[in-house]
């Protein structure tokens, strides 16, 4: 459940009370009226009604420039509401605004992001060179490249062009930085690299497509339902850093043919994560608040989903061609 705190003009109290009744708030309270005529109000709302409450409140209070809405997490409610015991876990959801605030962090191309990319690239490269699964898992859990992918999908769902541009730019910079670091490691490594873990990143198959689609779906579901702990498993399953590191290492070793296989795996992971997460945002009805923005988001979603789907089909054709050629 969530506590929605509203600070608005005292004349809006009856309207806010009606909204609380509409969203079936478990509790609604009116606070004191300040000297400026603003009044604090609070309602206790179930997770699956938070988005409806926020949208309605924003529509009603939009004309008040000083009005504020604050959403607070609720750890425990005692005694337990009667309806909560029978409420399905499937009804849980994350409000659009909270989802945006969480996911948009992954689109920031700041020094912290590049530091994480550098650290995870070095860890992944060492794991590939030393053929250590445990070290590779450590690089996967850091997973700095998963954030920009999810931010790109959310930006499309909300028709947020700025978020899409930031996410795409951050993803491109992150991959380029990772490949550059691993290229230097590969070029300066004294021995030839041919470990099983490294070669495994050069063989993209149908299982790679299925794994990336399932993992991207799980990532988007974990965010929209508030089960963010699932993301750790997703980070390990749909690893973007190991294939990116493999591309750089193999290029540094002068093996462009094998590097192309690792690049294919990386492209499959990126495309599948974006395609599957967009489908989840669509099914979960993650969309803008206003009608005009929703129409723009629908058009953008159709365009980008077709683009990602066609890209996936092309990659699958490449996989088929490589398998027939025995590559």
Residue 326, classed as helix, strand or coil, is coil
Same domain, 119 and 254: yes
Residue 262, classed as helix, strand or coil, is helix
Residue closest to 192 by CA, chosen among 253, 132, 125: 253
Residue closest to 243 by CA, chosen among 209, 203, 280: 203
Q: In terms of residue numbers, what domain contains 39?
A: 2-74+83-91
**Which pLDDT score is estimated for 59?**
87
Element (H, E) at 287: none
Same domain, 26 and 58: yes
Residues of the chain with pLDDT > 90: what percent?
A: 33
Structural domains of the chain, count = 2
CATH number at residue 31: 3.30.70.120
Domain end marker among 33, 58, 91 = 91
Spatial distance between the Cα atoms of 162 and 66, rounded to a whole number of angstroms: 26
Same domain, 308 and 196: yes
Spatial distance between the Cα atoms of 13 and 246, rounded to a whole number of angstroms: 60
**Which pLDDT score is estimated for 238?**
58
- pLDDT digits 0-9 by tens, 247-270: 999 999 999 989 999 999 999 989
Q: Return the minimum-mean-pLDDT range out of 53-62, 98-107, 221-230, 264-273.
A: 221-230
Same domain, 53 and 103: no
- pLDDT digits 0-9 by tens, 61-79: 888 888 999 998 888 777 7
Same domain, 203 and 316: yes
Same domain, 120 and 243: yes
**Which pLDDT score is estimated for 89?**
42
* Cβ(64)–Cβ(9) below 8 Å: yes
Same domain, 6 and 127: no
Quote the tokens at residue 116: 């994480």
Spatial distance between the Cα atoms of 171 and 162, rounded to a whole number of angstroms: 14
Same domain, 119 and 193: yes
Same domain, 13 and 113: no
Domain end marker among 33, 64, 91 = 91
Residue closest to 215 by CA, chosen among 140, 152, 286, 287: 140
Same domain, 164 and 110: yes
**Which pLDDT score is estimated for 231?**
55
Confidence band of 93 (pLDDT split at 50, 70, 90): low
Same domain, 261 and 316: yes
For the ranges 51-60, 67-76, 98-107, 168-177, the maximum mean pLDDT occurs at 168-177
Instruction: Please give the mean pLDDT across all residues of the chain.
Output: 84
Residue 198 makes CB contacts below 8 A (sequence gap 6+) with 128, 129, 131, 246, 249, 250
**Which pLDDT score is estimated for 91?**
44
Same domain, 109 and 182: yes
Higher pLDDT, 233 or 252: 252
């Amino acid at each position: 459940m969530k506590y929605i705190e509203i600070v608005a003009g005292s004349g809006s109290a009856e309207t806010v009370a009606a909204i609380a009744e509409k969203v079936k708030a478990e509790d609604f309270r009116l606070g004191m009226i300040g000297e400026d005529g603003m009044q604090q109000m609070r309602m206790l709302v179930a997770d699956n009604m938070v988005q409806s409450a926020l949208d309605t409140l924003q529509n009603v209070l939009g004309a008040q420039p000083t009005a504020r809405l604050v959403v607070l997490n609720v750890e425990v409610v005692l005694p337990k509401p009667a309806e909560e015991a029978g409420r399905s876990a499937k009804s849980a959801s994350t409000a659009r605004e909270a989802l945006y605030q969480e996911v948009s962090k992954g689109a920031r191309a700041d020094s912290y992001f590049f530091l994480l990319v550098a650290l995870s690239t070095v860890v992944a490269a060492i794991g590939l060179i030393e053929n250590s699964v445990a070290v590779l898992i450590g690089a996967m859990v850091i997973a700095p490249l998963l954030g920009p992918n999810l931010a790109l999908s959310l930006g499309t769902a909300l028709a947020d062009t700025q978020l899409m541009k930031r996410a795409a730019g951050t993803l491109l910079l992150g991959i380029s930085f990772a490949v550059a670091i691993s290229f230097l490691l590969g070029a300066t490594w004294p021995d030839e690299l041919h470990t099983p873990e490294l070669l495994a990143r050069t063989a993209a198959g149908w299982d790679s497509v299925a794994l990336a689609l399932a993992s991207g779906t799980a990532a988007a579901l974990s965010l929209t339902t508030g089960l963010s702990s699932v993301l750790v498993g997703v980070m390990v399953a749909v690893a973007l850093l190991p294939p990116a590191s493999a591309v750089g290492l193999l290029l540094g070793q002068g093996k462009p043919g094998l590097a192309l296989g690792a690049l294919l795996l990386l492209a499959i992971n990126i495309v599948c994560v974006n395609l599957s997460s967009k489908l989840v945002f669509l099914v979960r009805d993650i969309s803008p608040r206003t009608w005009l923005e929703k129409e723009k988001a629908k058009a953008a979603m159709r365009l980008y989903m077709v683009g990602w789907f066609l890209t996936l089909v092309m990659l699958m054709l490449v996989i088929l061609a490589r398998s027939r050629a025995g590559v």
